[in-house]
Structures are given as C-alpha cells and as structure tokens.
Amino acid sequence: MKEGKAILSIDSVKPGMSTAEVIFNKLGNVILWENVTLDENMIARLKNLGIETVAVHPEKPKITYVKSQSSQQFMVDYERDVMAVKQIFQNITSGRTLSSQMAQQIVDSVLEHVDAHRNIIESITQVRNIDEYTYYHSLNVALLCMLIGKWLRLDDQSVRDLTLAGLLHDIGKTQIPLHIINKPGKLTDDEFEEIKRHSEYGYNLIHQVDGIPSEVAIAVLTHHEKEDGSGYPMGMTGDKLNLYSKVITVADIFDAMTANRVYHSKDTPFKVFELMQHGSFGVLDPVVLRVFLDNITHYYIGTKVRLNTGEIGEVVFMNRMNLSKPVVMVDDRYIDTSVSKVIRIKEFL
C-alpha cells in the first residue's frame, strides 16, 4: 500500500474505482491516464492487454444516488426522461409557466445515472428526428453537465444545479417559431438573430420561478457567451461568466457536433476532439475543456472505427497531445494515425 493509493491485482479491480497512476503497456505506451474512473469495459481491456496490477485511489463513501442496473434500463429511463422534457417544452409553448417540480424530477432521474458514464456517452450518438432533436439535446446536455460537474469535483448541490441549468439551457426556444427551429437549410440573417434571442427568452421564462436558483437562470442567459467576448447576447468575457455557463458551453457544443440528425451528418467524436482541442482558443474555458477532454476520451478506447482505407479497427490508445488521432489496432497491426499522413478515421461505428 502506498500513501493515497492501493496496488490491486487486476482481478480485484472493480468498476467505479479510479486510477492513481498512469497505466502503461509492455511497450511503454500509455493505456490510461491517472484519475480515470474505471468501468467494466476498461477493466476487461486491461486484462486483455496483460496488465496484472493497477494502482487505484482508496474507495470513498458513495453518495446516495441510485444507480441504473443495466444498459437496457438506462435506455428505458433515458427515453422516459426525453418525453418528460418534451412535456415541459410543450407546456410552456401552450402558455403555462415552467414547473420547477417537473424539471427537478428529471434532474433526480439524471443523477440516478451518475456512474453510467459509458451509457451516457453512447446515448449521444443515436439518431434523432428533427422534430425531437431539442428534447434529446436538452437531456444530453444535462447528462454531460452532470459528468463534467463530477469530474470538476463540485459538491453535490452544485452538480444538481449545474444539471438543472444544462436541462433548461434551450428552454427559450419554446418562444421561437417552429419553422425557424426546424429549418433544415441555412437561416436568413433575420432568422438567425431570432434564434440568438433564445437565451434571453429562456432567462425571462425561469428567473422568477420558485425553485430555480439565480445562478441557473444566469447560466441559461449566458451559455452562448465566449471567453473572448465574441458570444451573445451581451458579449461578456470569461472573467464575468459563472462556472455553470462555461460547462454548458462545452457540453452544448460537444452534443451538437456529435448529434446524428436527419439533415445533419454527425462528426466523428475524434473530429470533434480535434476542433475542441485545437480550434477553441478564446471560445471555451481552458480548464473546463481540459477536464472534459481528459475524462471523456477514455471511454472511446475499445470502440470500433472504419478507416479511410476501408479497414475496420479498434481504438487502443488516445494520443493526449492530439486526441483526434488515436492508435488503432487492425487485425494484429497497430496504426498510429498521428504519424501516418494518409490513414485517418473516417467513421465511428
């Protein structure tokens, strides 16, 4: 036993434990970084790679959220929550005020899945009909906000409020005509200006509702602001934005870019990682972004991808300096896409 860590045999490692040291393979390549929460797939992958011992942090007392029992149960709960989000949106569209009780019930359900990281990430990739997209997107952003809040080590109440802010971030779209919201082609300048007002509409809908903290309402208002002041509606800079707003911005962009919609082909997560890692200077908070990328990318180890050569392989290593170019194993060959100038990942399977 080392201070602050325990060295366990791989057979003793359980889902939910987090790594206390970087794990290397026999060639000296990094398999997993420190402070990664392990799940069943990761543990199985370590066993397959011949890893015999793992340094983990001593287990901490669990918070009292109820965990989902299976991927199937997660999807049942997920679809139920999407329908609850839809009901909230439709109620407001018909002229009713926001029910904070209904919103908090959805947050309760989201928090029940606090450890279902892989299920959450997989749910983001499903195809969404244009008419239902906003409801799925709102729930996905809430789920991602919850994960980021935990990865930032926020206290339980802050994670709850952040999850609520993610859930309600697009509630102002209920005040915008559907023909604009669902338009498959390019928006006119006037239509785009109307869309941009959804954050203000959202703030006006919720800032005086009992049970909605003021920080949540402010985050809804400012979730399209940018670190360099180039966002909207007020052009605020990062030093004036609250943490919830910064987290929602990261979650919102990631889900929107990986969404599979009838009129928009999703980008691969690896392409999104590249854009977020190398193309977001001045846009996203660097601390929030780093925590997000350091944690979420581990859940893509073991995923199947199709290369531009037509070959299908498995991601076995994420390059921390260039997350869009992982090492892929095809049959018994290892292909480092960060080194090859011609081979790249074409499709996420």
Write the pLDDT tens digit of every residue in 90-113: 999 999 999 999 999 999 999 998
Instruction: Check residue 181 and give its pLDDT.
Output: 87
Q: Above 80 in pLDDT, residue 262?
A: no
Q: Above 50 in pLDDT, residue 21?
A: yes
Order across the sheet with 333-336: list the strands: 333-336, 327-330, 312-317, 304-307, 345-348
Residues 250 and 319 in one domain: no
| Mean pLDDT, range 117-132, rounded to an integer | 75
Instruction: Check residue 289 and give its pLDDT.
Output: 95
Residues 88 and 232 in one domain: yes
| Torsion of the alpha carbons at 20, 67, 127 and 194, rounded to the nearest 10 | -90
Q: From the centroid of its chain, how far is CA 184?
A: 24
Lowest model confidence (mean pLDDT) among 148-162, 250-264, 285-299: 250-264
Q: Would you give the DSSP letter of residue 66?
A: P
Q: Which residue has the tokens 């590249």?
A: 274
148 is a domain residue = yes
153 is a domain residue = yes
277 is a domain residue = no
Q: Rounded to whole angstroms, how far apart are CA atoms 115 and 281?
A: 30
Enter the tokens of residue 69: 């029992």
Task: Give the number of other CB atoms < 10 A from CB of residue 116.
Answer: 23
| Mean pLDDT, range 229-241, rounded to an integer | 95
Residues 50 and 102 in one domain: no
Residues 164 and 45 in one domain: no
271-310 pLDDT per residue, tens: 888 889 888 878 999 999 999 998 998 888 888 899 999 9
- Contacts of residue 23, Cβ cutoff 8 Å, sequence gap at least 6: 30, 31, 32, 46, 51, 54
Dihedral sign from CA coordinates of 58, 63, 65, 66: positive
Domain span at residue 336 reads 298-348
Residues 81 and 223 in one domain: yes
Instruction: Check residue 124 and give its pLDDT.
Output: 77
Q: Rounded to whole angstroms, how far apart are CA atoms 325 and 1?
A: 36
Residues 117 and 221 in one domain: yes
Higher pLDDT, 29 or 204: 204
Residues 237 and 326 in one domain: no
Residues 209 and 171 in one domain: yes
Residue 2: φ, ψ to 5°: -100, 160
**What's the structural domain count of the chain?**
3
- Find the CATH number of the domain harbouring 165: 1.10.3210.10
62 is a domain residue = no
- Contacts of residue 156, Cβ cutoff 8 Å, sequence gap at least 6: 63
Q: Rounded to whole angstroms, how far apart are CA atoms 10 and 5?
A: 15
Instruction: Check residue 26 and give its pLDDT.
Output: 73
282 is a domain residue = no
Instruction: Check residue 265 and give its pLDDT.
Output: 57
Q: Above 90 in pLDDT, residue 3?
A: no
- Find the CATH number of the domain harbouring 32: 3.90.105.10
Residues 118 and 242 in one domain: yes
Residues 238 and 343 in one domain: no
Q: From the centroid of its chain, how far is CA 132?
A: 19
Instruction: Check residue 57 and give its pLDDT.
Output: 83
Residues 79 and 185 in one domain: yes
- Find the CATH number of the domain harbouring 338: 2.30.30
SS3 of residue 325 by DSSP: coil
Instruction: Check residue 81 and give its pLDDT.
Output: 95
108 is a domain residue = yes
Per the prediction, the chain carries an average pLDDT of 87
Contact between 233 and 196 under an 8 Å Cβ cutoff? The reply is yes
Q: Which residue has the tokens 């996420």?
A: 348
Enter the tokens of residue 115: 């450890």
- Estimate the crossing angle of helix 214-222 against helix 156-168, to 10 degrees: 40
- Residue 308's region, left for phi above 0, alpha for psi from -120 to 50, else beta, is alpha
152 is a domain residue = yes
Residues 327 and 243 in one domain: no
333 is a domain residue = yes
**Spatial CA neighbour of 279 closest among 226, 203, 333:** 226
Q: Above 80 in pLDDT, residue 74?
A: yes
Q: Does an H or E element contain 103, and which?
A: helix 100-111
Q: Above 90 in pLDDT, residue 22?
A: no
